[in-house]
Amino acid sequence: MKKYILVAAASAMTMLVVICAVLFCALGGTMERVTDAVRLIGTWQYVESRYVGDITERQLMDGAIAGMMNALGDKHSVYMDEEKFKQLTEQNEGSFGGIGVVMAFPEPGTCEIMTVMEGTPGEAAGLLAKDAIIKVDGQDIKEMQPEEIAKKIRGPEGTEVVLTIKRQDQEPFDVTLTRASIPLITAKGTMVKDLPDGEKIGYIRIASFSENTAKEFKAELASLKEQGMQGLIIDLRSNPGGLLSDCVAIASDLLPEGEIVSLVDRRGNKEIYKSTGAGADFPIVVLIDENSASASEILAGAIQDTQCGTIVGKKSFGKGSVQNVIPLFHGDGIKLTIAKYYTPSGRSIDGVGVEPDVEVEQPKEATVDEQLQKAIEVMRDKLKE
């Protein structure tokens, strides 16, 4: 019996040595990392076996990963559970269950409808641009974050959502909508109407940069050109960013040959994205505001630095970092900041934003889009030059 005990003890010791050796190699060959790994595993096992409440392995692991991301102190590096990761994926591709409105969040705890898509439940219910959403299913949105508001409004196709709407000086009223599958159209164009001298000014609104944005932008631009467009206004207001690839593709349609943006990682390695085109043969005006962020700032900054257009509106958000989205094994994932980006002149707008060439405030009580009117005025002046 004593012999068997000694053999078992030796085997256990050998196994422990092997595990430590594997950890030592896998974690970069430092005992400090091995110790930290043992601390993590030991804590996990102790909590799992002794915690008085109900807890699962999945909850513990999710919490550990979330804690790791929180420890970075970077609001753009986050852990996303299955539901949040699905929402992010839907923003970048395909379609989603919703009501067909583009929302803006001008201040914390506020939500305003910017545009209502054609042929959607929002249009059928009579929702209008500038309508304020003040409650979702009877719940006041004052304490909600923008992503929480969007999450509550979206949902499975065929389900209902009740919005409480405040329209100008009217009393708030409820609207019941049945969610439908909403195609994610992110770039939409039109010709500005009723100009005094008959100028042909095109307008393209880019709501975000997702999988099909560059393709949609190219199609809208071609349509406006066929209508005789003389100048283009690009509206990036409340555009939170998105896919760098589509932003660069659009910039390549507008900028002459040269740098669009450069990405610099923690080791100082630089990746440069360039335009290979000839540049636009028409004047450009770009609209931005305090909610224009990330990829929208890359496009605005590149146009400004290369002097290919005039920036109108308010100073942008100031998100000058790039995130990688990494799916994990249970439908969840992480979003991690892996680089900072710089405009063609070498500017970092992180925490600073893009300053407009022509600053214009949009008063809350205004019934006219003052910023768009100023952009049209600037464009008309350009066409007279």
229-265: pLDDT as tens digits: 999 999 999 888 888 999 999 999 999 999 999 999 9
Report which secondary-structure segment, H or E, holds 139.
strand 139-140
* Residue of 12 and 297 predicted with greater confidence: 297
Question: Annotated catalytic, 174?
Answer: no
Written as one letter, the residue type at 249 is: A
pLDDT of 264 reads 95
Q: Provide the CATH number for the domain formed by 187-384 in this structure.
A: 3.90.226.10
31 or 110: which carries more pLDDT confidence?
110
Range with the lowest mean pLDDT among 12-21, 69-78, 322-331, 361-370? Answer: 12-21
Q: What is the CATH number of domain 95-183?
A: 2.30.42.10
Percent of the chain with pLDDT over 90: 54
Question: Which whole number is the average pLDDT over 289-304?
Answer: 94
Average pLDDT value for the chain: 87
Lowest-pLDDT range of 41-55, 87-101, 134-148:
87-101
* Section 339-368 average pLDDT: 91
pTM given for the model: 0.72
Torsion (CA) 364, 370, 375, 380 in degrees, nearest 10: 180
pLDDT in tens, 21-62: 665 566 565 677 777 777 888 888 888 888 999 998 889 999
Residue 310 pLDDT grade (very low, low, confident, very high; cuts 50, 70, 90): very high
CA angle 283, 287, 291 (to 5 degrees): 155
Backbone φ and ψ for 43, nearest 5 degrees, come out as -65, -45
Pick the closest to residue 178 from 156, 165, 160 (CA basis): 160
Q: How far apart are CA 256 and CA 259, in angstroms?
A: 9
Which pLDDT tens digit goes with each residue over 164-185? 999 988 999 999 999 998 877 7
DSSP string covering 264-316: E-TT--EEEEEEEEE--SS-EEEEE-TT--THHHHHHHHHHHTTSSEEEES--
% residues pLDDT > 70 (the chain)? 90
Which residues are 379's β-sheet partners?
Answer: none
Q: Is the pLDDT of residue 10 over 80?
A: no
Q: Which residue has the tokens 């919703």?
A: 98
Mean pLDDT check: name the lowest of 39-43, 140-144, 342-346.
39-43
Taking phi first (over 0 means left), then psi (-120 to 50 degrees means alpha), and beta for anything else, what does residue 209 get?
Answer: beta
167 near 143, Cβ under 8 Å?
Answer: no
Q: What is the pLDDT averaged over residues 143-159?
A: 85
Residue 380 has pLDDT above 70, yes or no: yes
Mean pLDDT of 367-371: 87
| 319 carries an active-site annotation | yes
Measure the CA–CA gap between 64 and 43, rounded to whole angstroms. Answer: 11
Q: Which of 292, 294, 296, 321 is catalytic?
A: 294
* Whether residue 11 has pLDDT greater than 90: no
Most confident of 11-20, 118-127, 220-229: 220-229
Alpha-carbon span 262 to 260, nearest angstrom: 7
Domain boundaries, the chain: 2-79, 95-183, 187-384
Q: How confident is the model at residue 123 (pLDDT cuts 50, 70, 90)?
A: very high
How many angstroms separate the CA atoms of 245 and 228, rounded?
Answer: 29
11 given a catalytic annotation: no
Per annotation, catalytic residue among 319, 335, 374, 382: 319
Q: What is the mean pLDDT of residues 264-286?
A: 93
Residue found by looking up tokens 């042909």 in the block: 200
What is the residue whose two structure tokens read 């513990």? 60
pLDDT grade for 7, boundaries at 50, 70 and 90: very low
Dist CA 78 CA 334 (whole Å): 6
Query: Which residues are within 8 A (CB) of 184 and not within 5 positions of it... i.e. 6 or more apart?
Result: 90, 91, 93, 94, 95, 96, 210, 211, 212
**339 Cβ partners below 8 Å, 6+ apart?**
263, 264, 265, 266, 271, 321, 322
Which one has a higher pLDDT value, 153 or 34?
Answer: 153
Which of 235, 246, 305, 332 is flagged as catalytic?
305
